[in-house]
């Protein structure tokens, strides 16, 4: 057997690709994988790890794994609860699996060691690639904040393009398929293109997502603010009603009668006037909006009028029910008869129906409030 061909225990990895020049740890639980790791520990500690094409496949065949993987040296084996073993490995070199068999309770493979191609970039060219990659990494981290300060600082101090790319892929969230593509590529320029394309695409996606989130947040904040204003206005109307101006006048009289300096009274009157002006503007804006917003073919102002009338009708009928429930008593000898003035049961059904209509109408109004902007001009 050629020196470049090795027979090694094999562990198929789920959703993980190990790159040469890195130190990683992973957990295994399949009996065959544990047996492969234990066998490697007894026979020089060399092991071949390769990524499964389908992570959920329990027993992959030769067609179920990628043909390019990594020769690693086991540094640690730690047994964890629930029959899980944590493996720490130092990845040495890229390899191609030529044969893949299940023997003696674990997978074994014939591995062709692939020599790493030399970096043919000049010092100036490599420096240019490194600077471009570092600038893109900074942009990526400014948007995603994925890298810690220490991790970013460590990457920024690297001068080797290959090491920078490998360490970056160790530190950012990236799909194993992209790592596998990176592993299979033969030259540093192709690997650089894969990483730069990934980072720039992620930067663009992150910017778009940030823009969408900001717009949605602004829209929700604005709608919520306007909804609250309208509801507050409705409460003001209900609470003050026709007595609004008289209560404002009463407040003004109380200010005048205060035992305070002239400057204090003038300031209070000024604040009262400003509040009234703001309320006036708010009423005008809300009225304009209500006259313009349409919900299912009806103006919001019409819906509000209908809701107000429904509320009055419900209150009127409830008052009638209350009165009718005060039964008339007539006595004759030891007999007491209770006489009701109206059919309370029928009237209550009518109130229930009106209350249901009121809730439906109120929901329509709330929906219109949330989706419509206040007309301020």
* In the chain, % of residues over pLDDT 70: 75
Q: Both tokens of residue 197? A: 């394309």
Per-residue pLDDT, 293: 72
- Say if residue 290 is exposed, middle or buried (CB neighbours under 10 Å; 0-12, 13-18, 19+): buried
41-45, 186-190, 263-267, 349-353: range with lowest mean pLDDT? 263-267
Position with higher pLDDT, 300 vs 127: 127
Per-residue pLDDT, 302: 81
- The tens digit of pLDDT for each residue in 209-228 reads 776 666 656 655 655 555 65
Per-residue pLDDT, 120: 82
What 3-state DSSP class applies to 278? helix
When pLDDT is averaged across residues 90-102 and rounded to a whole number, the result is: 93
Q: What is the dihedral of CA 149, 152, 154, 156, to 10 degrees?
A: -130
Per-residue pLDDT, 229: 55
CA distances from 257 to 27, 252, 254, 262, 265 (A): 81, 9, 5, 11, 9
- In this structure, how many other beta carbons lie within 10 angstroms of the beta carbon of residue 281? 11
Per-residue pLDDT, 240: 46
Band (pLDDT 50/70/90 cuts) for residue 327 is very low
Size (the chain), residues = 377
Cβ-proximal residues to 289 (8 Å cutoff; 6+ apart), any chain = 300, 372, 373, 374, 375
Q: Is the predicted pLDDT of residue 64 greater than 50, yes or no? A: yes
Per-residue pLDDT, 367: 75
Mean pLDDT of the chain: 80
When pLDDT is averaged across residues 55-77 and rounded to a whole number, the result is: 92
When pLDDT is averaged across residues 19-35 and rounded to a whole number, the result is: 92
Distance CA 289, CA 294 (A): 10
Domains and their CATH numbers in the chain: 5-113 (2.30.130.40), 123-211 (1.20.58), 292-371 (1.10.287)
Per-residue pLDDT, 347: 79
* Strand partners of residue 88: 25, 76
Instruction: Report H helices in the chain.
Output: 31-42, 123-144, 149-156, 161-171, 176-184, 188-240, 244-256, 262-292, 300-325, 344-371
Instruction: Flag whether the pTM goes above 0.95.
Output: no
């Amino acid at each position: 057997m050629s020196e470049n061909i090795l027979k090694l225990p094999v562990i198929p990895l789920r959703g993980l690709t190990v790159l040469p020049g890195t130190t990683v740890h992973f957990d295994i639980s399949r009996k065959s994988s544990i047996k492969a790791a234990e066998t490697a520990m007894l026979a020089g500690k060399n092991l071949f790890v390769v990524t499964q094409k389908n992570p959920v496949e329990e027993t992959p065949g030769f067609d179920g794994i990628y043909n390019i993987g990594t020769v690693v040296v086991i540094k640690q084996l730690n047994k964890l609860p629930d029959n899980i073993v944590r493996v720490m490995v130092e990845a040495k070199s890229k390899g191609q699996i030529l044969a893949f068999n299940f023997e003696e309770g674990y997978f074994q493979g014939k591995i062709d060691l692939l020599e790493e191609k030399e970096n043919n970039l000049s010092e100036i060219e490599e420096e240019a690639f490194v600077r471009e990659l570092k600038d893109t990494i900074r942009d990526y981290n400014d948007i995603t904040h994925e890298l810690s300060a220490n991790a970013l600082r460590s990457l920024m101090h690297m001068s080797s393009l290959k090491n920078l790319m490998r360490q970056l892929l160790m530190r950012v969230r990236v799909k194993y398929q992209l790592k596998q593509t990176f592993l299979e590529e033969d030259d540093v320029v192709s690997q650089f293109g894969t990483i730069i394309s990934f980072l720039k695409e992620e930067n663009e996606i992150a910017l778009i997502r940030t823009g969408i989130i900001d717009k949605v947040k602004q829209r929700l904040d604005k709608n919520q603010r306007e909804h609250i204003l309208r509801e507050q206005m409705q409460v003001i109307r209900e609470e003050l009603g026709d007595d609004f101006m008289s209560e404002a006048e009463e407040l003004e009289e109380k200010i005048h009668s205060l035992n305070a300096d002239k400057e204090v009274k003038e300031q209070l009157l000024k604040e009262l006037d400003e509040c009234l002006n703001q309320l006036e503007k708010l009423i005008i804006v809300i009225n304009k909006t209500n006259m313009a917003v349409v919900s299912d073919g009806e103006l919001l102002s019409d819906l509000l009028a209908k809701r107000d009338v429904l509320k009055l009708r419900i209150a009127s009928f409830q008052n009638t029910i209350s009165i009718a429930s005060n039964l008339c008593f007539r006595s004759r000898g030891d007999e007491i008869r209770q006489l009701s003035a109206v059919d309370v049961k029928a009237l209550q059904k009518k109130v229930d129906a009106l209350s249901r209509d009121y809730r439906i109408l109120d929901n329509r109004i709330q929906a219109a409030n949330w989706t419509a902007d206040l007309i301020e001009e």
